[in-house]
Amino acid sequence: MKTFQELGLNEALLKAIEDMGFETPSEVQEKAIPILLEKDTDIVSLAQTGTGKTAAFGFPMLQKIDSKSRTTQGLILSPTRELCLQITQELKNYSKHIKGVNVVAIYGGASITDQARAVKKGAQILVATPGRMQDMIRRRLVDVSKIEYCVLDEADEMLNMGFFEDITEILSHTPDEKSTWLFSATMPKEVSVIAKKFMYNPEEITVGTKNAGTKNVSHEYYKVSGRDRYPALRRLADANPDIFSVVFCRTKRDTQNVAEKLIEDGYNAGALHGDLSQNQRDLVMKSFRNKQIQMLVATDVAARGIDVDNITHVIHYQLPDEIETYTHRSGRTGRAGNQGVSMIIVTQSESRKIRAIEKKIQLNIEMKKIPTGMEICETQLYSLAQKIKNTTVNDDIFNYLPKVEAELEDLSKEELIQRLVSVEFARFHNYYKKSKDLNSKFEDNPSEKTKHNKKESTRYFINVGERDDYNWMALKDFLKATLEIDTDDIFHVDVMESFSFFNTPNSLQEKVLAKFTDFQLNGRYINVEVSEKAPRGRSGGGGKRKNFRKGGDSGGGGYKKKFNSSGGSGGNYDRGKRRSFDNNPESKREGSSGSSRRSDSGSKPKYGSKGNKPGGFGRRSRK
């Protein structure tokens, strides 16, 4: 993490920063300030409210303007009077040690003559709401023709409030050479329109999640077995005839391989990765921009600079390690007001990552089925019909038509259509006629999974049962949350009166036993042991326990008293109770050893005491 000094701010500002008690820059400040200080560039910055955007543009603007000149050089547009006053006050605090700076607030509902007078005295920076600003421009009470820096703060909010026309009008009075700095919490269509219309090649910075969090991108995932990844990719491409996509792989080698296979199979594909020369990469990007390449297979690093607007699909051939990277990838589509789709191909074991991503982007990722071969043929035929319908007839064709017509003379219109379409159909039908269902079987058919696991699974004994208000579902939920494993990895759950049995894959045995070593729930020891055999059945109870510990808490009776079950001992599980297990097994363990608490306080907030929100910061208390 950098200091304010390292960002390149001058003494006067550093002194003010010290006065205000800011210790370290917030994320958006760290990212934006060096760029704005160093270059005269346009910038689009996405960050939630409360992340310190005012200083992110305020500091550079104050450092860059000429405080000796009385010309108006900076204009900040903000949606409301409150924000306008707030920003003005902040800028006054920031510029406390810079001589001669004058910041004037311009907003409706107050005397326009007073504001005009303040401007006339010489204001280098105006902070304005769009309505009043436009009014003052019209009446020639302000001169914005020498503006060098224009900030559109809370751009999404301004557009929500219907200020598009006013902003357009105001900006038309400002010089073209100025830099425009746009700040927004979200990037809806309207904001991209503004960015496109008024900005030149803007730098983009994002704090926390970005575009993927907006409704311009829908997210979906497809579960397949590992060896079906490539065929699944083909189907997704075939099911979307007009696809224009970036396909992300994790390594350069996979990137190259997938691209080569696609090309072999007749797709307009290309690879983009770091092993290519700059010249090769330029060529690939050129073909992609011209849409000669429909599927650009790329690594994350190589795709970083892709600024193509009409990408219809982002396909995650493999998921990245970092969730943040997922957001960056998905942000390649749904740009400039278009709708985009982010498609994830996962295997069973990777599918748990989906939940983590959903949490991060705060959106639902819909599970979808890989289309069947016949569905794809249908889609392709329909698409062909539409293409035929919409094709503009080439004039040069008329020279050849008599011969062609003669050849086809005997065919009726129906026959003609049938044959025309069959040409295309054959291509897909040949490939798909014997194709199988690629969707991972585990989801549809649990018995298959069960069969699969029977041999390689471990059966356990656990000393909780119906008396403790568990039924199989509740126990499964509890195990899932406590062990932090997939529900699919817990099966054959049999709940008895005072104890229960369950299975997991062998690979998880170590983890399970480790977790339940000295494990307490409401002050009671929960004991889990490997069970000797794995018979199943209502009467048998599920096998003998190996090394059943004598005495202690695992003894058959008696523990009900010790178990302070808060929800009473009724047989039914109420939802609230279950949910507390679902979300956080720790929540039921109040009063247990201090170890968990210790680890809590161990994780330091990012920017001091209040630093628990993403991209947020704390402030040292003023003395």
Interface positions with ligand ADP (CB under 6 A): 22, 25-26, 29, 47, 49-55, 90, 607, 617, 619
Identify what 313 binds: Mg ion, ligand ADP, none; CB under 5 to 8 Å per kind.
none
Q: Which is nearer to ligand ADP, 7 or 297 (CB)?
A: 7
Closest separation in Å from C-beta 111 to ligand ADP: 26
**Longest Cα separation, the chain:** 99
Closest separation in Å from C-beta 57 to Mg ion: 9
Measured in whole angstroms, how far is the alpha carbon of residue 6 from the centre of its chain?
A: 30
Q: Which is nearer to Mg ion, 53 or 332 (CB)?
A: 53
Q: Which is nearer to ligand ADP, 157 or 494 (CB)?
A: 157
Do 515 and 474 meet the contact criterion of CB atoms below 8 Å apart?
no
Structure tokens at 95: 């510029």
Report the first-to-last Cα separation within the chain, whole angstroms. 25
Residues that bind Mg ion in the complex, under the rule CB under 5 A: 53
The total number of residues written for the chain in this structure? 623
Q: What are residue 542's phi and psi, to 5 degrees?
A: 100, 30
Q: What are residue 397's phi and psi, to 5 degrees?
A: -70, -25
Neighbours of 109 (CB within 10 A): 8
Looking at 438-574, list the stretches that DSSP marks H as alpha helix, in order from N- to C-terminal side.
441-444, 446-454, 472-483, 509-515, 559-562
Q: Which is nearer to Mg ion, 79 or 331 (CB)?
A: 79
Closest separation in Å from C-beta 52 to ligand ADP: 3
How far is residue 140's CA from residue 359's CA, in Å, rounded to a whole number?
A: 51
Q: Which is nearer to Mg ion, 50 or 446 (CB)?
A: 50
Identify what 55 binds: ligand ADP, Mg ion, none; CB under 5 to 8 Å per kind.
ligand ADP
How far is residue 467's CA from residue 569's CA, in Å, rounded to a whole number?
A: 7
Structure tokens at 216: 């311009």
Q: Which is nearer to ligand ADP, 25 or 131 (CB)?
A: 25
DSSP string, 304-327: GG---TT--EEEESS--SSHHHHH
Structure tokens at 569: 């001992």
Closest separation in Å from C-beta 153 to Mg ion: 6
Closest separation in Å from C-beta 87 to ligand ADP: 8
Closest separation in Å from C-beta 78 to ligand ADP: 9
Q: Which is nearer to ligand ADP, 46 or 258 (CB)?
A: 46
DSSP 305: G
Closest separation in Å from C-beta 78 to Mg ion: 8
DSSP 249: -
Structure tokens at 445: 């058919």
